[in-house]
Structure 1
Amino acid sequence: MTVVNEWVSGTKFGGWVQRCRESRRLVLVIVAIALLLDNMLLTTVVPIIPEFLYDINHPEAPLGPVRATLATTTTTYPPCPCEIYNQSGSHSSTTVSNIENYNFSTLSPEEEEKRLRHKDLVQETVQVGIMFASKAFVQLLANPFVGPLTHRIGYSIPMFAGFVIMFLSTIIFAFGRSYSVLFIARALQGIGSSCSSVSGMGMLAERYPDDKERGNAMGIALGGLALGVLIGPPFGGVMYEFVGKSAPFLILSALALGDGLLQLLMLQPSVIRQESDPPSLKSLISDPYILIAAGAITFANMGIAMLEPSLPIWMMDTMGAGRWKQGVTFLPASISYLIGTNLFGPLGHKMGRWLAALLGLIVIGICLMLIPLAKNINHLIVPNAGLGFAIGMVDSSMMPELGYLVDIRHTAVYGSVYAIGDVAFCLGFAIGPAMSGTLVKNIGFEWMLFGIAILNFLYAPLLYCLKSPPTKEEKRSLLMEEKSSVRYVTYQNEEDDE
């Protein structure tokens, strides 16, 4: 009887697992969790790395409570005997209690300390920017290989490979104690992110063939991404402040391990070949409508990517912000991004995704121009919230738009088009941090943000082209009409010659 009960129990459990594997919602949950953890790792380092690297480079004077009090204390000097010539030309020995009264230095020690600190922080912006950009650059290089690979072996194996690589990257972050090791961890994360993002979005596009349902599903998945961006900076800042550098990364590695086990049980990674012939990467890249949608993703994310390495350092420099403030400053952007992605998943389909993205780029430009006007952390709340909401408008509109464009203009196989979408996302997060340090050093924090705001304003009108893109049949008929007109013109010219 016991054997029979175990067999029945096993059968019921097996049936439940099988139903879960066939569920589209479970696939959506797995993709959302993968994007959540990937972006938690992406943003957890934002408040940690700048100060951690500064402390490594300046072990004798690290940032922190001791350093903060240095700027507020006044330095006194013991009386020292000095020989001073009087007006008659003779000299006498006197005691000088205040060196500054005799102009031996044009700057006070406190001001000199601040000047050197400012110089070091600006220089560090370059290093931090390059490290942050390394992930996006590597992801950028990996995407053209991952996209076609999903056509040959399916989405589940690259998805699981993304988990493995992200887990290794998290462990390296936890125990890395030098710039080069942390750089390797950040770059390695790029390969894992490429596998997770391209496979996850392609899997959702395949499981949700209806355009409206696809938009809703991708809005929810991007909500997972937004939640990772939301939790990451305050989580990293608070854990680094009160527990230590390794703690947030060890917690993330444990969560990633759970996600990997869920994928292994439910997705059962295996080779699944696509039935229809996929569109070539070349044909997708040469499609102007796909390029316009991808470009919107790039410009929308470039501004926040520039802020990631530069805003915490700018806050340390101008506001004297501590670790938790540097982490919390991105909180309004993350919350509003979460709202924007979930709201404009379905709303973008109703009002027109091109219009939602166009308005989003304009709002992004306005918010970027308001950020440098802030005098304290409270002044950053509104522009950061508007920035996150507007980026959510663009991302949740253009990601399903890429799938829709493939459906109507190419073959409904999605690996390569979401590789292009991820390339667009990575371009923003590669160019932004890589250029931010150099731009802050040469033209200043304010002009850097004004420049990217103007680029968003200039790009926004191009999205009008996505209002009614021609379908594959319309494209063929247009080509046939063009060929017919060319033949007619040629025939007329031949008749005229005769």
Structure 2
Amino acid sequence: MTKHHRSNSAGGTTPTRALIVGSTALFTDMLVHGLAVPVLPLLPAVVEEGPAATGVLFSSYAVAMIIATLFAGRMVDRLGPKTPLLLGLVGLAVATMLFATGGPYWLLLVARLAQGLAGGMSWVAALSLIAATTPFEKRGQAMGIAMSTITLGVLIGPPVAGFLVDHYGTAAPFLLAAALALADGVLRVVLIDGSPKVSDDPGGPASVMRVPGSLSIVLAIVVGAGVLSGIEPVLPVHLGATAQTVGLLFGLASLTAMVANPVVGYLVPKVSSKVLVGGGVVAAAASLLVIGWASALWGVCIGMALLGASSALLLAPATTLISEQGLRSDPPTLGGAFALYNFAYAAGLAGGPMLTGVAVQQLGFSSAMAVTTGVLAIIGCASLFKLPNQGAGTISRD
């Protein structure tokens, strides 16, 4: 393995500043994503189009994010992360203002695509900024902190949106998002001095994907992201509840994930990854079945709590394992490892809503949850075959 040197924090951007800006960018993006969860499915323009169109609306964010990620990588290589960060900010501001109009459907779809493009730019640039200013030996820890802000944004977004909708109308969450984007932009301009580039991390996601076991990790991430995102477009309409109730339900899932994440993180080096991920697959399947057949709100609450636990069991080990895979790749790369994580996460965000939206429209809610359970269980079980095992500071394949 080649020796890695401290990255050049060009222009005076310190690792701390980079971590603040990068983490805030990720938090803002996922907060806006979370704000949309209890609002978009209940807008008249979306309800009129049906569950399948609602699934397309939610999936379009991730599809646009994947497309933007491909171009953002090249832009970061040529210009550094500051320009893509600012472009992402502009896209997010445009998206939030379009969402505030409330329709028609095609305009909301444009807004969702703009949000996804902005997210792709911001995610790649934020992680690249952290990688460019943080010593290689401390980069994994910094990346982990940044990725944890994603869960925080998802946690806060839905309940805040539900409260604002019930008290101030459907435009209120998106006006709040626009204000937060403005504050985020100030941080991006003030704290980033110059446009530092990574000089010691030349590998990309393709090199990490070639490491044995990476495909299994990718599949676990897809299931972890897909199971929660699949519920987002269909549950609000099925329940017929207020936006605040829907927001609190999704907040419950995210809160459970936040509480479970450190517990699972503690267990990662002590317990077989197959046990943790397998438990996540079981919890994900159980959650969808409980939600699909619950006849009372308390049953849905149990299902959402299981959903949050499944997210922690699937994604917490995957975050650790993917960084280890990056260190095993040739050349070693942490930036490429987390780029691969982003691709897998976005794939889950795209596939989950598309699957549930079409299934609900064709089969009804309960049957759709059963079908989705079967699909995710198959993918989840496939992820266990060559899943690397973390333990005692080393990785080995079972």
TM-score normalised to structure 1 length: 0.69
Determine whether 1:263 maps to 2:196: no
Shift of 1:279: 2.8
Counterpart of 1:34, as a letter, is A
Give the structure 2 partner of residue 428 of structure 1.
348
Instruction: Indicate the structure (1 or 2) with the bigger Cα radius of gyration.
Output: 1
How many pairs align? 381
Q: Could you report, residue by residue, the CA deviation over 1:426-484 in whole angstroms, capped at 9, with x for unpaired residues?
A: 11111121222221122232232223333444434633623359xxxx99xxxxxxxxx
Shift of 1:42: 0.9
Contact 2:21 2:191 in 1 (8 A): no
Counterpart of 1:454, as a letter, is G
In 1, the alpha carbon distance for the partners of 2:275 and 2:85 equals 32
Give the structure 1 partner of residue 282 of structure 2.
362
Determine whether 1:315 maps to 2:239: yes
Counterpart of 2:145, as a letter, is I
In 2, the alpha carbon distance for the partners of 1:390 and 1:254 equals 33
Counterpart of 2:112, as a letter, is R
SS in 1 for 2:374: helix
Q: Determine which of 125, 130, 134 is the counterpart of 1:199.
A: 125
Contact 2:232 2:353 in 1 (8 A): yes
In 2, the alpha carbon distance for the partners of 1:346 and 1:22 equals 29
Q: Determine which of 7, 10, 22 is the counterpart of 2:14.
A: 22
Q: Determine which of 49, 70, 89 is the counterpart of 2:40.
A: 49
Aligned pairs for 1:73-152 (under 5 A) are 124-152=50-78
Q: Could you report, residue by residue, the CA deviation over 1:144-189 in whole angstroms, capped at 9, with x for unpaired residues?
A: 2223443444334333332232122112222353211111111011
Runs of 4+ in 1 over 6 A off after TM superposition: none
Q: Per chain length, whose mean CA-contact separation is higher, i.e. which structure has more relative contact order (CA < 8 Å, sep 6+)?
A: 2
Counterpart of 2:302, as a letter, is V
Shift of 1:327: 2.1
Give the structure 2 partner of residue 305 of structure 1.
229
Counterpart of 2:162, as a letter, is G
Give the structure 2 partner of residue 462 of structure 1.
383
1:294–1:269 distance in 2 versus 1, CA, 3 Å: farther
Counterpart of 2:360, as a letter, is V
1:184–1:243 distance in 2 versus 1, CA, 3 Å: same
Give the structure 1 partner of residue 22 of structure 2.
31
Q: Determine which of 203, 209, 216 is the counterpart of 2:136.
A: 209
In 2, the alpha carbon distance for the partners of 1:167 and 1:338 equals 28
Determine whether 1:170 maps to 2:170: no
SS in 2 for 1:329: helix
Aligned pairs for 1:60-79 (under 5 A) are none
1:402–1:332 distance in 2 versus 1, CA, 3 Å: same
Q: Could you report, residue by residue, the CA deviation over 1:119-155 in whole angstroms, capped at 9, with x for unpaired residues?
A: x77x621221111111111112222222344344433
Instruction: Structure 1: state its 5+ residue gaps.
Output: 1-17, 58-119, 476-498
In 2, the alpha carbon distance for the partners of 1:269 and 1:140 equals 27
Shift of 1:260: 1.4
In 2, the alpha carbon distance for the partners of 1:167 and 1:357 equals 37
Give the structure 2 partner of residue 411 of structure 1.
331
Counterpart of 2:358, as a letter, is T
Q: Could you report, residue by residue, the CA deviation over 1:478-497 in whole angstroms, capped at 9, with x for unpaired residues?
A: xxxxxxxxxxxxxxxxxxxx
In 2, the alpha carbon distance for the partners of 1:184 and 1:197 equals 20
In 2, the alpha carbon distance for the partners of 1:164 and 1:174 equals 16
TM-score normalised to structure 2 length: 0.85
Identity %: 26
Shift of 1:288: 4.6
Q: Determine which of 453, 474, 489 is the counterpart of 2:373.
A: 453
Shift of 1:310: 0.6
Q: Determine which of 259, 284, 308 is the counterpart of 1:339.
A: 259
Give the structure 1 partner of residue 162 of structure 2.
237
Shift of 1:315: 0.7
Aligned pairs for 1:394-405 (under 5 A) are 394-405=314-325
In 2, the alpha carbon distance for the partners of 1:227 and 1:277 equals 28
Contact 1:340 1:389 in 2 (8 A): yes
In 2, the alpha carbon distance for the partners of 1:407 and 1:173 equals 41
Q: Determine which of 142, 146, 154 is the counterpart of 1:221.
A: 146
